Amino acid sequence: MAAADVIAPAPAGRIALLISDVDGTLVDPDKALTPATVAAVRRLGKAGIGFSIVSSRPPRGLAGLIGQLGLTLPLGGFNGGAVVRPDLSVMSELTVPEPAARTTLETLRRFGADAWVFADNQWLTMDPDGPYVPLERHTVGFEPTIVGDFGPYLGRAGKIVGSSEDFEMLARCEAELRGLLGGSAIAARSQRYYLDVNHPQADKGHAVSRIAAAVGVDPAEVAVIGDAANDAPMFRAAGLSIAMGNAIDEVKALAHFTTAGNDSDGFAQAVDRFLLPRGPRSE
């Protein structure tokens, strides 16, 4: 499908707020904001459209983006499990139920995935040499805390992650873990190599609703943009949805529009083509 195609009939109403995924969407493949993206966010403000982000990253891992983009609205971390203010003070937080956390860690161990726990504003790992530790360090901008036992933290985990270079294995692990957890927690990959486990209500649709309510915007006037399976809930919660060119098919099927990939400034293209004409100050 070509960049910037219409996928489904789009609503004709105005858009007052854009909420964006981060990795695979807002940042490029090197996890950096491009000049075009930064400029596009500024154009949103001039058009009267608010801007926020919801990410699988921990809130602490969003601090650099908050500063670079000058974000002023509430935003979401942990796939929506934590909604925070721009100073990272917590507005709401949902943690993984401890029995589900224990089931998750046992299942990740059995499949051979590298396990991380995010709790107490820390990224906890038992293996500092895990294959995706360097990438996560680059992504979140802080060092992991090395522990010998996750047990003391399992009652306070905002997110548990399994990472692996074996993508097919991680997909099998995801399917089995969903069955084991039932409705006690959400298991969904945020990337092919990351399997995230969150509180059962901690999805990006929940975060979209919370952020929209906090800023007084009707969900019908909210637009969202994303690329991965964990973005699907926010596509269902918003009035207008945009899939990145690099998005998975499930996300593209839910979108009103698709834009170019995150390696080709697809975010900025989406802002200019689909959102600015719908801004309160566009006329």
Q: Taking residues 88-114, what's their average pLDDT? A: 97
Q: Is residue 161 part of a domain?
A: yes
Are 86 and 210 contained in the same domain?
Answer: yes
Are 117 and 186 contained in the same domain?
Answer: yes
Q: For the chain, give the percent of residues with pLDDT over 70.
A: 95
Residue linked to tokens 């809930």: 233
Q: Is residue 170 part of a domain?
A: yes
Residue 147 belongs to domain spanning? 98-198
pLDDT number for residue 190? 86
pLDDT band at 282 (very low <50, low <70, confident <90, very high): low
pLDDT digits (tens, 9 = 90+) for 142-178: 999 999 999 999 999 999 999 999 999 999 999 999 9
Q: Is residue 7 part of a domain?
A: no
Are 142 and 265 contained in the same domain?
Answer: no
Q: For the chain, give the percent of residues with pLDDT over 90.
A: 91
Are 207 and 167 contained in the same domain?
Answer: no
Beta-strand pair 157-163/186-191: unpaired
Structural domain ending residue among the three candidates 171, 198, 225: 198
What CATH number does residue 72 fall under?
3.40.50.1000
Q: Is residue 121 part of a domain?
A: yes
Residue 55: which of 89, 81, 32 has the closest Cα?
81
Are 104 and 182 contained in the same domain?
Answer: yes
pLDDT number for residue 280? 87
More confident residue, 283 or 105: 105
Mean pLDDT of the chain: 93
Note whether 236 and 219 are within 8 A (CB). Answer: no
Under DSSP, is residue 45 helix (H, G, I), strand (E, B) or coil? helix
pTM of the entire predicted model: 0.86
pLDDT number for residue 5? 54
Q: Taking residues 107-125, what's their average pLDDT? A: 97
Q: Is residue 2 part of a domain?
A: no
pLDDT score of 1 more than 80? no
pLDDT digits (tens, 9 = 90+) for 254-275: 999 999 999 999 999 999 999 9
Structural domain ending residue among the three candidates 198, 231, 259: 198
Task: Report how many domains make up the chain.
Answer: 2
DSSP string, 186-227: EEEEEETTEEEEE-TT-SHHHHHHHHHHHHT--GGGEEEEE-
pLDDT digits (tens, 9 = 90+) for 48-64: 999 999 999 999 999 99
More confident residue, 3 or 141: 141
pLDDT digits (tens, 9 = 90+) for 180-217: 999 999 999 888 999 999 999 999 999 999 999 999 99
